[in-house]
Amino acid sequence: MSDASYTGQGHGAGVAGLDGAYAKSGEARPSDYIALLKPRVMSLVVFTGLVGMALAPGSLHPTLAATALLCIAIGAGASGAINMWYDADIDAVMTRTQKRPIPQGRVTREEALGFGSVLAIGSVLVMGLAVNWVAAAILALTIGFYVFIYTMWLKRRTPQNIVIGGAAGAFPPMIGWAAISGDLSLLPVLLFAIIFMWTPPHFWALALFRSDDYARAGVPMLPVVAGERETRRQILIYSLLLVPLTLSPYALDLAGPLYGLGTALLGAFFLVLAFRIWRGRDDRAPKHMFAYSILYLFLLFALLLAERGLGWGA
Amino acid sequence: MAGRDEDKRRRARNIALALALGGLVVLFYLITLARMGGGGQ
């Protein structure tokens, strides 16, 4: 199946009555608005942003540092809410997302858009006024990239959607770094590159065991468009690129031996899982990779944080 | 019963909104103190 077969699919198509028949204003609980912020995604974003802040040279008043972290969290959540507004039709047909507040009819699409937009603008303004405008600009870029480049442009058009769109999830360490130092240097760029390169194997592992879901929703994820075999091969290629990249902060003397050793071990297991997926003999391998990839990224950044806390960093 | 349920949800939303607004007031107050005290860059 080619990309072109998806290109014409309009947003909002396929779910009759999404705007009015069963979604009405006034049904939402506060927890529904929290769900719009995609709190699980937010937690990894906040953590990587926190590590960026911890590694950056310089200091910031604790209140302002907490404000910066809050702005990163709210900005990420706002992107999620706007994404749910735009992708309500997709969410309604995918098993993984059917329980979200808009498909369930507890929040209207307009409410989600308004909620997300106010939070997006507010988080950027507060970041700029309270912390600095470099961090605010990168936060605005992150939100804009996720909403306009990934959600509106790439997601429904190309199997490279999460490759390019992955940049949106990779910006938080740079925002955190810029919040403290007011500028950028090599280490935050490397952290960006690591998350960027981590995203394809992470999402393609998910797509391998959710490909029916994506196909039904008309999202041209790689397994749907190019097949499982090619996806497994691409997961291996990106994993082989990712692991040396994760070692680069140590190789360039930007991280210490704890990070170097820990990353080598974690990366070795990542590659073992990638090879298991590539061989294609174990149906559980993609699920294992998906679960491990989250832990892997968390632990990589935790190692950097631990080194900084112990004063062992380079 | 549906009306009562809707009232409960509205009440929960109002409380959440009040807490969020109160939190913002406290946050802006603390930010002002930090910036006036030279805590920014």
pLDDT digits (tens, 9 = 90+) for B11-21: 999 999 999 99
* A240 in the same domain as A156: no
How many angstroms separate the CA of residue B12 from the nearest CA in chain A?
Answer: 7
Distance from C-alpha of A112 to C-alpha of A232, rounded to nearest angstrom: 36
* A118 in the same domain as A256: no
Q: Among residues of chain A, what percentage have pLDDT more than 70?
A: 91
pLDDT at position A3:
35
B27 with A67: Cβ contact below 8 A: yes
pLDDT at position A25:
63
Q: What domain count does chain A have?
A: 2
The conformational region for residue A313 under phi > 0 = left, psi -120 to 50 = alpha, else beta, is beta
Torsion (CA) A150, A101, A98, A210 in degrees, nearest 10: 40
pLDDT at position A65:
97
pLDDT at position B2:
60
Give me the domain span that covers residue A270.
Answer: 186-314
ipTM of the complex, rounded to two decimals = 0.88
How many angstroms separate the CA of residue A129 from the nearest CA in chain B?
Answer: 10
Q: Is A1 among the domain residues? A: no
Cβ atoms A189, A211 nearer than 8 A = no
How many angstroms separate the CA of residue B22 from the nearest CA in chain A?
Answer: 15
- pLDDT confidence of A75, banded at 50, 70, 90? very high
Looking at this protein, which amino acid is placed at residue A271?
A: L
Distance from C-alpha of A273 to C-alpha of A286, rounded to nearest angstrom: 8
**For residue B8, what is the nearest residue in chain A, using CA coordinates?**
A29
* A141 in the same domain as A202: no
Is the pLDDT at A6 greater than 80? The verdict is: no
Looking at this protein, which amino acid is placed at residue A26?
A: G
* A211 in the same domain as A162: no
What confidence tens digit (pLDDT) does each residue in A268-301 have?
A: 999 999 999 999 988 899 999 999 999 999 999 9
Closest residue to A29, CB basis, from B12, B37, B41: B12
Give whichever of A36-45, A294-303, B6-15 has the largest mean pLDDT. A294-303
The CATH number that applies at residue A269 is 1.20.120
Query: Which residues in chain B have Cβ-Cβ distances shorter than 8 Å to A64?
Result: 31, 34-35, 39-40
- pLDDT confidence of A2, banded at 50, 70, 90? very low
pTM comes to 0.89
Q: Is A51 among the domain residues? A: yes
For residues A59-93, one letter each, b for 16 or more C-beta atoms within 10 angstroms of the residue's C-beta and e for the rest, the string is ebbebbbebbbbbbbbbbbbbbbbbbbbbbbbbbb
* A176 in the same domain as A50: yes
Closest residue to B12, CB basis, from A30, A61, A182: A30
Tokens linked to B40:
């920014």
What confidence tens digit (pLDDT) does each residue in A12-35 have?
A: 444 444 544 445 666 789 999 999
| DSSP code at position A302 | H
Distance from C-alpha of A38 to C-alpha of A19, rounded to nearest angstrom: 21
The CATH number that applies at residue A137 is 1.10.357.140
Cβ atoms A75, A142 nearer than 8 A = yes
